């Protein structure tokens, strides 16, 4: 029997589309799908409006991330200002800065420890793809090699606006998510509900290099095949030059004896002097004669205005220089090493607190072969040599006999190479000097990425004989285990001591710094700083960069003071270039103005964050940042960038000041800054709790401060009036009247107060400079991209806000620096950290670290 | 009537327990669950933790606890005294001053002994 | 029967309102923080919201922020790390919030007793005549949440946080208890209503002479100061937020807590702030007493008005606590302990004796 067919009248199914739309807008028309869709809307709305970031900053971008939370940008508007210290409470990880191999396991673990659903914002060029540091040996070329990234933010660093935009993009992405509810037949894209999916990533291992456990078999196979060695054999290696020899003894024969590798053209030589202000040739030869008379002939040989000391006599000479010499060399300004063809030279820049400005350089030479060099450690004489010697050991493989704790400092124990040796080529090595062929069309016929030429496809280099693949284990902390502070036995009634690792991700370590603390209850009885989590190979990259190209990299050292960093680097190369690069007067004024503005901005930041560290939840910091923002506006106007100004050039500056700049700068300096500094002074300096928390904490006596080679406000707060602007005047600082501020107690409070007063002095200098700035050219000649730098070596010193920033540059007459070393004040100031913290409590450690005012970009370089 | 009032507190307690457990239950029902080895590891700034956390702690804490009990009981004694003070007269004042003085001496003793010194 | 239903409704209303209040206090805190720091604070959440049916909702001040936060927390994975002491780890936030909630039982939210409109009591358990002792007893229970949470997490930061809080909270318990003895002595009762009624009355001759109301803050200024200081410590608010101490201990006792468990600690903390603010106002700021309100009136309108007065005062107190948090830095641990044992407790004792002596003096001079 046929079933009767029901025919509907047409009007019942077809609704006028216009009417339908109208209805949907004003009447709640719903069906099952739409209802299910509304679940998504609610689900997404809650999460998009409450994205709490993990309080976690890696590098320069982190500064901009903090600025995003500051008054001008205020990420709080989006409900995202709740930066959580613990990953357990965070929703989004903002990877803000260069991801280094040393840091990668920590980032992976933190990511894993975040609860689902979790998101990753890759902030800035470095996090996205390695950025300017990509060819570094310790840099992961993009966080997406490991973590699933949701939003990429371009920029170096991205401005706060860009981060806000990134956040909005992430919100949009969340808006598009659909719940997976199989029970209701609803399909979506929320993988965290799918039980079969593994969302967390295995923590990579720091073996001979950073090893991703997901691809370890492939890596092992390729290593056994020796693919990387084969590739390296085809590349041009960087040249090695011979160490400078005594000129009077062998005047010329050295030249013909060596067949000129770089063509017959004689290399122009710079004037031999260790630094612009130094002891002088007469003084040096007198000193050399004295040394030879006292310790036997050949103790001191003058080579290029430095004293060559045989390694076995180093300690006696050093002790003599510190204790008996007419000028007491009690301050080890800098210590670095150069890899020459025939030796590794360790050299020491020494200065005196009693007669500052009489800098001398000692040279000690040792075997060139890898891991064979040995030099006696001078830690017993200048304790400030501690970290610097470890750095030389880490980078060059020179062992320092008698060093109390010779462990790797920037890389990790187990890293297979000594990366600053000339024969070490980075995994992404392409050539000795930029511009690399892969960056131009003609080179290989097409652009390619570094990953494509490295057989591993990632920034990895593993020695061919490495066999222990099976032993690689993420549960071993290769970087920190060797640096556990030792304890003492405790009696039965006392607290058992335990070890806390504070950092690398911690709200108050000012970046990815880590301290292994041994505590008795809350009292610190041992502290070992662990660093290198931000080591992004500045010096190695500096050897590939042409001189001019290196400017933007110096910006990223201490990313709060890019102008000051530029200044020091410009001075170092100008010292080599001599009169060719003498800046005209207007340029000198502009340089000083920028450097002093930088000092104000940096000290503002430092004071604000010191207060934050002792518990004043960001309020002083944000007020200080407001002033900093105004200064950054001036920088941006003049140079085009807020943070990474790249403004100085050899012999001047990049651009003249734009019209109106000076008026605005005068307005800020004359009418505003003084009042704001008074405001900080009024509210902070006398606050009971600030006094309680800062007075008598972290005391460093004048002798200790000198012995530890501390610099800048840290040194001056201990009562040593040592300011490079005065003791070794550079640029036109001798024209200005200003006082060198010094403290007396050397405690946290004095370091704070010295910074505050220094801002006043900077404003004083700024007022004079802004009043007197002349018209005129800003460069000695025409703007040029071809910089010819004569061979020689130079050590420049500038008084950066953090302390003495030194650049040691060895040029061989080629387009790049042969050796390029940065004496970073933040790094060396940390040497004194353990001394300052012992006996204090965990809360004080945070304050003491804040008072040192470190910036990790500069500590680890 | 007083009994009744404590019963109300009991009801409130039940409500509070319900209120405390409800979110946990809801979370248990609706939140995603994903486990991995490193997620369940102890958090310590991104690195692995060294050694034991649950260590023996010094006797100082015990002394503080003792002092606390002492003074808390003192306070409890003081309450009825304060409530009834209006009807007691000078004798109560003198007696309480003596009581407090003894305790105060105890506090001073502890103070001078260095017990109150932290760390 | 009717009374029981009334009480149940009261419980529901009180619980609902306090929970809502707590949620919005967190928003308020964020706004106070923002304005203290020359920022705007949350203002997007709730604005430009498209509802089904095409309605657009535009709420100012980020008014839906707490709801979004709550929704997110419920939908977040609740990680229970494998090394924790599981039962205690789960129990700790619950204790924290339960203790904070039942503390409300004896707190009057408006006029009670003779001043209340007939038939209505702004109090869950009006007959409990040991009000203050009850509040303190329950308040001490909240410590367990923090201590257990810190200990059970098996995390060094949490452990230190828990340790700090155990010492801090028991130390401040004493000055907190002692600071109010003066008021108890003057009012002659532990019942909060009686204390408010006392403040409504005559007070001592000095306050009468100065023309001030007999509020605790005027008749017991030192007691008031001690109480507020100890209250800050008891609620873990800056400058005494050492158990959390974000800059030192990352998150302190709640470092390992995620999602709703963390949220419950948060709620518990703010509930505690409300309780303490109510206590402060009732003990020292005259409760629902206001100069323009006649104490005799006990009609509905004035009853509500008085409840409102109390609410405003509590709001100001809460605001004060937030203001302090975003203004000053934190004490160090040993300084905090010193403050309790070497300053607050002796001062509290002296204050008590002095009050008793003055009362005795005044009585004998009559």
pLDDT of C189 > 50? The answer is yes
Report CB contact under 8 Å: C11, B54.
Answer: no
Q: What is the CA radius of gyration of chain A?
A: 29
By Cβ distance, the residue of B64, B75, B90 closest to C171 is B64
CATH code (residue B58): 1.20.58
Question: What would the two tokens of residue A114 be?
Answer: 């975040």
> To which residue do tokens 């000097």 refer?
A433
Burial class (CB in 10 A: 0-12, 13-18, 19+), A5: exposed
| Strand boundaries in A5-72, DSSP class E | none
CA A449 to chain centre: 25
Query: Using one digit for the tens of pLDDT, what is the confidence trace for C191-244?
Result: 777 788 777 776 666 666 776 777 878 888 888 999 999 888 888 887 888 777
Does any CB of chain B come closer than 8 Å to the CB of residue A504? yes
Return mean pLDDT, chain C: 81
Alpha carbons A45 and A131: distance in angstroms, whole number? 34
Alpha carbons C66 and C41: distance in angstroms, whole number? 13
CB pairs under 8 A between B and C: 199
What is the full DSSP assignment across B1-12? Answer: -HHHHHHHHHHH
Burial class (CB in 10 A: 0-12, 13-18, 19+), A132: buried
At residue A264, the pLDDT reads 47
Alpha carbons A98 and A93: distance in angstroms, whole number? 14
Q: What is the CA radius of gyration of chain B?
A: 25
At residue A734, the pLDDT reads 87
Interface test with A, best of B37, B38, B43, B44 (most A CBs within 10 A): B38
How distant is the Cα of C276 from the closest Cα of chain A, in angstroms? 22
DSSP conformational letter for A822:
E
Does any CB of chain B come closer than 8 Å to the CB of residue A838? no
Nearest to A805 by CA among A349, A395, A398: A349
Residue B108: inside a domain, yes or no?
Answer: yes
Report CB contact under 8 Å: C52, A844.
Answer: no
| Positive or negative torsion for Cα A385, A391, A397, A403 | positive
Residue B35: inside a domain, yes or no?
Answer: yes
Query: Using one digit for the tens of pLDDT, what is the confidence trace for C65-120?
Result: 888 888 888 888 888 888 888 888 888 888 888 888 888 777 777 777 665 665 56
pLDDT of C320 > 60? The answer is yes
Report CB contact under 8 Å: B53, C166.
Answer: no
Report CB contact under 8 Å: B5, C171.
Answer: no
How distant is the Cα of C27 from the closest Cα of chain B, in angstroms? 20
Phi, psi dihedrals of residue A366, rounded to the nearest 5°: -145, 175
Do residue C274 and residue C357 come from a single domain? yes
Nearest to A116 by CA among A29, A198, A58: A198
* Domain termination site, one of C33, C56, C75: C75
> Bridge-partner residues for A685, per DSSP?
none
Query: Are the C-beta atoms of residues A494 and A520 closer than 8 Å to each other?
Result: yes
**Chains with ≥3 CB–CB distances under 8 Å to C:** A, B
Query: Buried b / exposed e across A289-302, counting CB within 10 Å, b at 16+?
Result: ebbeeebeeebbbb
How distant is the Cα of A116 from the closest Cα of chain B, in angstroms? 7
List the single residue in B with minimal CA-CA distance to C154.
B53
How distant is the Cα of A479 from the closest Cα of chain C, in angstroms? 20
DSSP conformational letter for A218:
H
CA angle at residue A647 from A731 to A767, to 5 degrees? 55
Chain A residues within an 8 Å CB radius of B44: 500-501
Residue B81: inside a domain, yes or no?
Answer: yes
CA A54 to chain centre: 21
Report CB contact under 8 Å: B44, C155.
Answer: yes
Report CB contact under 8 Å: B58, A494.
Answer: yes
Query: Domain tally for chain B?
Result: 1
Does any CB of chain A come closer than 8 Å to the CB of residue C174? no
Do residue C62 and residue C93 come from a single domain? no
Question: What would the two tokens of residue C326 be?
Answer: 């975003």
How distant is the Cα of B67 from the closest Cα of chain A, in angstroms? 18
How distant is the Cα of B49 from the closest Cα of chain A, in angstroms? 7
Query: Using one digit for the tens of pLDDT, what is the confidence trace for C267-294?
Result: 888 888 888 888 898 888 887 777 666 6
Alpha carbons B79 and C173: distance in angstroms, whole number? 14
List the single residue in C with minimal CA-CA distance to B8.
C125
What is the full DSSP assignment across A688-727? Answer: HHHHHHHTTSS---HHHHHHTT--THHHHHTT----HHHH
Q: Residues with Cβ < 8 Å from A176, sequence gap 6 or more?
A: A44, A189
Chain B residues within an 8 Å CB radius of A497: 55
Query: Using one digit for the tens of pLDDT, what is the confidence trace for C134-147?
Result: 888 888 888 888 88
A792 three-state secondary structure: strand
Residue B21: inside a domain, yes or no?
Answer: yes
Query: Are the C-beta atoms of residues A108 and A663 closer than 8 Å to each other?
Result: no
Chain A residues within an 8 Å CB radius of B45: 106, 501-506, 514
Question: What would the two tokens of residue A439 be?
Answer: 């960056």
Q: What is the CA radius of gyration of chain C?
A: 22
At residue A307, the pLDDT reads 87
* Domain termination site, one of C75, C108, C129: C75
Does any CB of chain A come closer than 8 Å to the CB of residue C156? yes
Residue B118: inside a domain, yes or no?
Answer: no
Q: Residues with Cβ < 8 Å from A558, sequence gap 6 or more?
A: A564, A565, A602, A800, A801, A802, A805, A824, A826, A855, A857, A858
Alpha carbons A630 and A766: distance in angstroms, whole number? 15
What's the number of CA atoms in the CB half-sphere (13 Å) around residue A130?
A: 19
Helix or strand run (H / E) with residue C142: helix C131-152
Helix or strand run (H / E) with residue A442: helix A441-444
Report CB contact under 8 Å: C337, B118.
Answer: yes
Query: Domain tally for chain C?
Result: 2
Nearest to A826 by CA among A795, A861, A799, A858: A858
Report CB contact under 8 Å: A85, C255.
Answer: yes
Chain B residues within an 8 Å CB radius of A193: 32
List residues in chain B touching A: CB distance below 8 A: 31-34, 36, 38-39, 41, 43-53, 55-60, 119
* Domain termination site, one of C75, C105, C120: C75
- For residue B108, the enclosing domain spans 2-113
Alpha carbons C339 and C344: distance in angstroms, whole number? 6
List the single residue in B with minimal CA-CA distance to A55.
B45
Report CB contact under 8 Å: A112, B55.
Answer: no
CA A436 to chain centre: 24
Report CB contact under 8 Å: C341, B67.
Answer: yes
| Positive or negative torsion for Cα A475, A476, A480, A481 | positive
By Cβ distance, the residue of B31, B40, B71 closest to C76 is B31
Interface test with C, best of A30, A86, A199 (most C CBs within 10 A): A86
By Cβ distance, the residue of C98, C185, C342 closest to B16 is C98
Alpha carbons A842 and C156: distance in angstroms, whole number? 12
Report CB contact under 8 Å: B8, C177.
Answer: no
At residue A756, the pLDDT reads 92
**Chains with ≥3 CB–CB distances under 8 Å to A:** B, C
Do residue C167 and residue C309 come from a single domain? yes
Helix or strand run (H / E) with residue A610: helix A585-613
List the single residue in C with minimal CA-CA distance to B25.
C74
Counts of helices then strands in chain B (DSSP H, E):
3, 0
| Strand boundaries in A171-324, DSSP class E | 205-206, 210-211, 301-303, 306-308
> Bridge-partner residues for A791, per DSSP?
A269
By Cβ distance, the residue of B17, B44, B57 closest to C163 is B57
Report CB contact under 8 Å: A86, B32.
Answer: no
Residue B119: inside a domain, yes or no?
Answer: no
Residue B12: inside a domain, yes or no?
Answer: yes
Nearest to A394 by CA among A413, A375, A380: A413
Do residue C172 and residue C31 come from a single domain? no
Does any CB of chain B come closer than 8 Å to the CB of residue A113? yes
Query: Are the C-beta atoms of residues A507 and C246 closer than 8 Å to each other?
Result: yes
Query: Using one digit for the tens of pLDDT, what is the confidence trace for A190-248?
Result: 878 777 777 778 888 888 888 888 888 888 888 888 888 888 888 888 888 888 887 65
Does any CB of chain B come closer than 8 Å to the CB of residue A106? yes
Given a cut of 50, the residues of chain A with pLDDT beneath it are: 1, 249-264
By Cβ distance, the residue of C45, C160, C258 closest to A49 is C45
Query: Are the C-beta atoms of residues A441 and A435 closer than 8 Å to each other?
Result: no
- For residue C5, the enclosing domain spans 1-75
Chain C residues within an 8 Å CB radius of B17: 94, 98
C266: left (phi over 0), alpha (psi -120 to 50) or beta: alpha
The helix, strand and coil proportions of chain A, stated in percent and rounded to the nearest 5, come to 40, 15, 45
Helices (H), A249-384: 254-257, 281-295, 314-323
Query: Are the C-beta atoms of residues A315 and A295 closer than 8 Å to each other?
Result: no
At residue A507, the pLDDT reads 83
Alpha carbons C20 and C38: distance in angstroms, whole number? 27
Alpha carbons A699 and A750: distance in angstroms, whole number? 9
| Strand boundaries in A11-103, DSSP class E | 92-96
Interface test with B, best of C11, C137, C149, C250 (most B CBs within 10 A): C11
Chain A residues within an 8 Å CB radius of B42: none
Residues in C 307-326 with any Cβ partner in A closer than 8 A:
325-326
Do residue C219 and residue C329 come from a single domain? yes
Do residue C213 and residue C313 come from a single domain? yes
By Cβ distance, the residue of B31, B48, B119 closest to A841 is B119
Chain B residues within an 8 Å CB radius of C19: 19
Do residue C102 and residue C61 come from a single domain? no
How distant is the Cα of B27 from the closest Cα of chain A, in angstroms? 12
By Cβ distance, the residue of B19, B42, B103 closest to C154 is B42
End-to-end CA, chain A: 89
Question: What would the two tokens of residue A833 be?
Answer: 């950290």
At residue A790, the pLDDT reads 87
> To which residue do tokens 């100065």 refer?
C210
CA A653 to chain centre: 23
Q: Residues with Cβ < 8 Å from C58, sequence gap 6 or more?
A: C46, C47, C48, C49
Does any CB of chain A come closer than 8 Å to the CB of residue C247? yes
Q: Residues with Cβ < 8 Å from A653, sequence gap 6 or more?
A: A587, A590, A591, A594, A647, A778, A779
List the single residue in C with minimal CA-CA distance to A608.
C329
Query: Are the C-beta atoms of residues A479 and A102 closer than 8 Å to each other?
Result: yes
């Amino acid at each position: 029997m046929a079933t009767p067919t029901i025919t509907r009248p047409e009007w019942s199914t077809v609704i006028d589309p216009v009417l339908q739309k109208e209805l949907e807008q004003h009447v709640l028309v719903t069906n099952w799908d739409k209802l299910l869709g509304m679940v998504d809307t609610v689900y997404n709305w809650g999460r998009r409006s409450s994205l709490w970031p993990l309080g976690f900053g890696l590098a320069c971008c982190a500064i901009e991330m903090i600025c995003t939370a500051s008054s001008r940008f205020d990420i709080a508007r989006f409900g995202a200002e709740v930066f959580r210290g613990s990953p357990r409470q965070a929703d989004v990880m903002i990877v803000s800065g260069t991801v280094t191999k040393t840091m990668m396991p920590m980032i992976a673990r933190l990511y894993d420890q975040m609860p689902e659903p979790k998101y990753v914002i890759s902030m800035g060029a470095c996090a996205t793809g390695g950025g300017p540091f990509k060819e570094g040996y310790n840099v992961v070329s993009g966080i997406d090699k490991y973590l699933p990234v949701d939003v990429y933010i371009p920029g170096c660093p991205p401005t706060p606006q860009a981060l806000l935009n990134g956040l909005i993009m992430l919100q949009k992405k969340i808006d598009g998510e659909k719940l997976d509810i199989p029970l209701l037949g609803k399909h979506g894209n929320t993988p965290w509900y799918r039980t079969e999916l593994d969302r967390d990533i295995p923590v990579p291992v720091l073996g001979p290099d950073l090893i991703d456990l997901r691809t370890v078999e492939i890596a092992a196979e390729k290593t056994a095949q020796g693919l990387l060695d084969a590739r390296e054999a085809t590349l041009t290696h960087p040249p090695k030059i011979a160490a400078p020899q005594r000129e009077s003894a062998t005047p010329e024969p050295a030249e013909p004896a060596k067949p000129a590798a770089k063509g017959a053209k004689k290399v122009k030589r710079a004037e031999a002097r260790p630094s612009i202000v130094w002891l002088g040739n007469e003084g040096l030869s007198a000193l050399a004669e004295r040394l030879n008379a006292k310790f036997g002939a050949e103790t001191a040989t003058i080579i290029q205005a430095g004293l060559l000391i045989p390694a076995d006599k180093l300690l006696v000479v050093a002790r003599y220089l510190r204790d008996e010499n007419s000028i007491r060399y009690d301050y080890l300004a800098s210590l670095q090493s150069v890899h020459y063809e025939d030796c590794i030279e360790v050299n020491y820049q020494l200065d005196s607190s009693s007669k500052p400005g009489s800098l001398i350089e000692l040279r000690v030479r040792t075997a060139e072969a890898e891991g064979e060099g040995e030099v006696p450690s001078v830690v017993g004489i200048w304790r400030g040599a501690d970290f610097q010697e470890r750095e030389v050991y880490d980078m060059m493989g020179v062992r320092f006999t008698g060093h109390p704790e010779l462990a790797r400092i920037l890389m990790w124990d187990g890293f297979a190479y000594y990366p600053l040796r000339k024969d070490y080529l980075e995994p992404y090595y392409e050539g000795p000097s930029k511009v690399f062929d892969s960056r131009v069309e003609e080179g290989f016929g097409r652009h390619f990425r570094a990953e494509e030429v490295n057989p591993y496809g990632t920034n990895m280099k593993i020695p061919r004989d490495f066999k222990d693949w099976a032993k690689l284990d993420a549960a071993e902390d290769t970087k920190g285990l060797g640096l556990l502070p030792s304890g003492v036995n405790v009696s039965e009634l006392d607290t058992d001591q335990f070890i806390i690792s504070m950092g690398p991700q911690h709200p108050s370590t000012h970046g990815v710094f880590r301290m292994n603390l041994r505590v008795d209850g809350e009292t610190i009885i041992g502290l070992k700083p662990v660093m290198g989590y931000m080591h992004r190979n500045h010096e190695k990259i500096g050897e590939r960069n042409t001189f001019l190209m290196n400017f933007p990299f110096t910006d990223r050292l201490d990313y709060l003071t890019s102008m000051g960093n530029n200044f020091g680097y410009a001075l170092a190369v100008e010292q080599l270039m001599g009169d060719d690069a003498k800046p005209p007067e207007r340029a000198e004024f502009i340089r000083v103005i920028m450097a002093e503005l930088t000092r104000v901005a940096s000290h503002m930041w430092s004071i604000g964050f010191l207060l934050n560290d002792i518990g004043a939840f960001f309020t002083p910091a944000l007020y200080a940042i407001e002033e900093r923002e105004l200064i950054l506006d001036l920088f941006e106007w003049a140079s085009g960038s807020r943070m990474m100004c790249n403004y100085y050039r050899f012999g001047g500056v990049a651009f003249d000041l734009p019209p109106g700049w000076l008026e605005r700068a005068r307005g800020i300096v004359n009418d505003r800054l003084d009042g704001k500094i008074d405001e900080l002074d009024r509210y902070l300096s006398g606050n009971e709790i600030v006094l309680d928390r800062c007075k008598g904490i972290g005391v460093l006596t004048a002798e200790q401060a000198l012995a530890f080679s501390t610099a800048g406000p840290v040194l001056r707060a201990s009562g040593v009036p040592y300011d490079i602007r005065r003791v070794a005047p550079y640029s036109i600082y001798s024209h200005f009247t200003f006082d060198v501020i010094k403290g007396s107690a050397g405690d946290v409070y004095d370091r704070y107060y010295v910074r505050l007063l220094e801002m006043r002095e900077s404003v004083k200098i700024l007022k004079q400079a802004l009043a007197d700035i002349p018209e005129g050219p800003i460069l000695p000649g025409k703007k040029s991209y071809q910089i010819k730098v004569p061979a020689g070596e130079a050590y420049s010193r500038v008084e950066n806000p953090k302390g003495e920033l030194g650049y040691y540059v060895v040029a061989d007459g080629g387009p790049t620096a042969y050796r390029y070393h940065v004496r970073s004040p933040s790094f060396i100031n940390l040497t004194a950290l353990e001394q300052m913290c012992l006996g204090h409590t965990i809360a004080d450690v945070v304050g003491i670290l804040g008072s040192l005012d470190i910036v990790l970009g500069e500590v680890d370089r | 009537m007083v009994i009744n009032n404590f019963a109300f507190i009991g009801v409130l307690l039940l409500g509070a327990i319900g209120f405390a457990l409800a979110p946990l239950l809801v979370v248990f029902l609706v939140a995603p669950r994903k486990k991995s080895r490193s997620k369940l590891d102890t958090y310590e700034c991104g690195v692995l933790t060294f050694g034991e956390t649950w260590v023996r702690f010094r006797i100082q804490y015990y002394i503080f606890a003792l002092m606390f009990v002492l003074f808390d009981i003192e306070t409890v004694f003081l309450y009825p005294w304060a409530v009834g003070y209006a009807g007691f007269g000078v004798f109560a004042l003198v007696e309480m001053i003596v009581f407090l003085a003894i305790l105060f001496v105890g506090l001073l003793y502890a103070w001078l002994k260095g017990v109150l010194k932290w760390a | 029967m009717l009374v029981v239903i009334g009480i149940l409704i009261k419980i529901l209303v009180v619980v609902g309102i306090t929970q809502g209040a707590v949620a919005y206090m967190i928003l308020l805190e964020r706004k106070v923080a923002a304005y203290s720091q020359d920022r705007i604070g949350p203002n997007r959440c709730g604005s430009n919201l498209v509802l089904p049916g095409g309605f657009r909702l535009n709420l100012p001040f980020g008014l839906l922020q707490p709801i979004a936060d709550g929704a997110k927390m419920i939908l977040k994975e609740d990680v229970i790390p494998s090394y924790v002491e599981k039962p205690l780890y789960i129990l700790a936030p619950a204790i924290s919030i339960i203790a904070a909630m039942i503390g409300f039982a004896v707190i009057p939210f408006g006029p009670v007793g003779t001043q209340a409109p007939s038939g209505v009591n702004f109090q869950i358990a009006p007959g409990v005549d040991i009000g203050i002792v009850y509040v303190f007893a329950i308040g001490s229970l909240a410590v367990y949440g923090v201590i257990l949470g810190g200990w059970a997490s098996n995390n060094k930061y949490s452990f230190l946080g828990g340790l700090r809080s155990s010492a801090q909270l028991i130390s401040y318990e004493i000055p907190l208890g002692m600071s109010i003895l003066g008021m108890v002595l003057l009012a002659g009762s532990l019942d909060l209503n009686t204390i408010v009624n006392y403040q409504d009355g005559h007070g001592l001759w000095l306050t009468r002479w100065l023309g001030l109301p007999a509020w605790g803050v005027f008749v017991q200024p030192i007691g008031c100061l001690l109480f507020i200081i100890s209250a800050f410590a008891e609620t873990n608010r800056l400058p005494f937020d050492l158990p959390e101490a974000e800059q030192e201990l990352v998150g302190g006792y709640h470092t390992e807590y995620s999602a709703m468990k963390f949220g419950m600690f948060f709620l518990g903390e703010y509930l505690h702030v409300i309780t303490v603010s109510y206590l402060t106002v009732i003990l020292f700021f005259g409760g629902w007493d206001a100069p323009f309100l006649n104490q005799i009136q006990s009609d509905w309108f004035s009853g509500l008005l008085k409840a409102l007065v109390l609410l405003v005062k509590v709001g100001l107190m809460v605001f004060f606590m937030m203001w302090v948090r975003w203004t000053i830095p934190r004490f160090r641990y040993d300084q905090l302990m010193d403050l309790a044992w070497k300053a607050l407790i002796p001062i509290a004792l002296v204050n008590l004796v002095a009050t008793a002596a003055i009362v005795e003096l005044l009585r004998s001079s009559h």
